[in-house]
A and B are shown apart, each in its own frame.
Chain A
């Protein structure tokens, strides 16, 4: 097998908030790569910095240290306008709550084309309409929905609109920030299927940000576990689930609710206690425990 192409490389990335007096390090020396065509899961509790990484990649949050390389070119910090436009087009984001992320006063047609308008990525009105139509068809919505308002749609359909608006930009990397946590159980499956299907058809790459390990197992190829701004473990999905090495990952795996009453009733949950485990940021090292399985020790 040929070596897979690295689409995105994150090297020693730090993101800090606040001023010099009151500094808060949200992302602390993080390293990982995303290969073309894979789904990488980024899992952690709230406040662990997972969303901040996603936002740093699409240049919403400024980075204070380290590099983000997209197809070998640096895209954080100061970059020229042409590259900025390219990043906007090629890296797109899907948000958590479809009830909050769509403009209630705009028609679907405008919501989906907003990116096209902003990057002037169409020659004629005819072409724009065609692109919108194609994007809607891609996510399983009818083209005539373009003339409707968001409130006419259910949660699952609204999330599809959110996905359509990223597809219209013809992206290569999609950052999905908890795309299904706000959805109902029955709709979650639909959106996950759609994402998997699009990945196959359009050759997309995903960074899938989530806190729920049970969903991540189904959709991802590799998983990175993040805690307090540091990635503590990174491995292929099945390896991570079958053989977690870091105590934090073990704790996180032990709290996943399994829909099996026999098991659940007697299960002991194992909470991660940082006091039990020496995790000093100075002494800990990023080690490759087995090929492709990294852990912070």
Chain B
């Protein structure tokens, strides 16, 4: 296998927001590499900053938010320094495109579906008139919409949720991006439709050579699509590795907690594992490991110093003091070992 080529490299990114006169730090020195052609899943609770993190790659932060420090290198350019809309228009759509969560609200209800896809094609591929219409029809076929000629003239309200999400994907693909960010692409959909959309994204990834970032909180989806997984907590990536690393050999206590609370793992009659407490207040400065107050097995140092990344293997690293050679041995919860025993053999 050839060495993976990094396409997007985020380093020590800090994103802050001004809210009612107070400053909130949404992303706290997060770093990440994205390799060409892979699918990376970012998982975390709501409010952990996973959406904000990826929105920063496209200059889509709200007006009260800004990149405080750090860099986002994409093809040799530092996106963190981009200020004007003109700069961003070179990136948005053409290089990095996004599929949003709710297909019910991300389409324009007053325009026909065909026109909405055509807009993107005219803007990014420079096609006009009949040629553009042909391109629309072929892309609608690509995303699995039957009778595209007829569907071209229909409005979003005539489409079901799954079909609408296909249209949203068609618009994103129409720009021929290198990187596709899917922000909870299936959360608003039914399980059966979810499986179809995930399969569609997989096949499009092959066809168009896409690099995909999935943002999700569903670990079942993660296992289905992701090559690598980044676990986000309180604005930082606390663990990153291949999906096998994360599912079978998790190192960070937060990853343990997240995996343990899956209802799929529950034994009937016994309570499910729950994570104690609430996520930290991001208005305040966080000392030490952000997860420590919720971690029943936290070490003393967790409350004082923030852990750096420790390498577990070439592909796998985690920010936890447990990996320090001086740390006492802490047993992984039984449920984590159970996942391994149950599933690694398959």
Asked whether A260 lies within 8 Å of B272 as measured between CB atoms, the reply is: no
Q: Which residues of B contact A269 (CB under 8 A)?
A: 195, 199
One digit per residue, 1 when the CB lies within 8 angstroms of any chain B CB and 0 when it does not, for chain A 237-277 equals 00000000000000110011111111111010101100000
In the bound complex, how far is the Cα of B220 from the Cα of A279, in angstroms? 31
* Residues of chain A with a CB closer than 8 A to B343's CB: 260, 262-263
B282 at the interface (CB under 8 A from A): no
A261-B274 CB under 8 A given contacts A186-B257, A214-B264, A272-B192: no
Inside 8 A of A154's CB, which chain B residues have their CB?
278
- Docked CA distance A125–B191 (Å): 47
| Contact for B217 among A46, A184, A260, A265, CB less than 8 A | A184
Bound form: Cα–Cα A212–B342 in Å: 22
B258 at the interface (CB under 8 A from A): yes
Residues 156-212 (chain B) with a chain A CB within 8 angstroms:
161, 190-196, 199
User: Is B137's beta carbon under 8 Å from chain A?
Assistant: no
Q: Which residues of chain B have C-beta atoms less than 8 A from A186's C-beta?
A: 45, 257-258, 261, 274-275
Q: Which of A211, A214, A217 contacts B190 (CB 8 A)?
A: A211
Count A-B pairs with CB separation below 8 Å: 117
Number of B residues whose C-beta is below 8 Å from A? 43
| Contact A258 B274, beta carbon cutoff 8 Å | no
Q: How near does chain B come to A45, taking the closest CB pair, in angstroms? A: 5
- Across the interface, which residues of A come within 8 angstroms of B196, CB to CB? 271
Q: How far is the CB of B44 from chain A (nearest CB, A)?
A: 9
Q: Which residues of A contact B344 (CB under 8 A)?
A: 262
Complex CA–CA separation, A7 to B340 (angstroms): 42
Please state if B258 and A212 are interface contacts (CB–CB under 8 Å).
no
Given contacts A184-B217, A261-B223, A271-B196, contact A218 B190 (CB under 8 A): no
Contact across chains for B268 and A218 when beta carbons are under 8 A apart: yes
Most buried by B among A155, A197, A264: A264
Contacts of B263 in A (CB 8 A): 188-189, 192, 214-215, 217-219
In this complex, how many residues of chain A approach chain B with their Cβ under 8 Å: the count is 39
- Beyond A186-B258, A264-B224, whether A256 also contacts B192 by CB under 8 A is no
Of all chain A residues, the one with the shortest Cβ separation from B272 is A189
Residues of B within 8 A of A1 (CB): none
Q: Which residue of B lies closest to A213 (CB)?
A: B191
- The residue on A at minimum CB distance from B48 is A184
- Known interface pairs A259-B264, A260-B343; A185-B192 also in contact (CB < 8 Å): no
CB distance A185 to B217 under 8 Å? yes
Q: Is the CB of A256 within 8 A of B271?
A: no
| Contact (A251, B192) CB under 8 Å given A185-B217, A185-B262, A263-B346 | yes
Contacts of B199 in A (CB 8 A): 269
Q: Known contacts A262-B344, A262-B346; is A185 also within 8 Å of B261 by CB?
A: yes
Nearest 3 A-B pairs (CB), nearest first? A257-B220, A261-B243, A255-B195
A interface residues, Cβ below 8 angstroms from B: 45-46, 154-155, 184-186, 188-190, 192-193, 196-197, 211-215, 217-219, 251-252, 255-265, 267, 269, 271-272
Beyond known contacts A188-B263, A213-B191: 10 more, CB 8 A cutoff: A155-B46, A185-B219, A188-B261, A217-B263, A218-B272, A251-B192, A252-B192, A260-B247, A261-B243, A263-B346
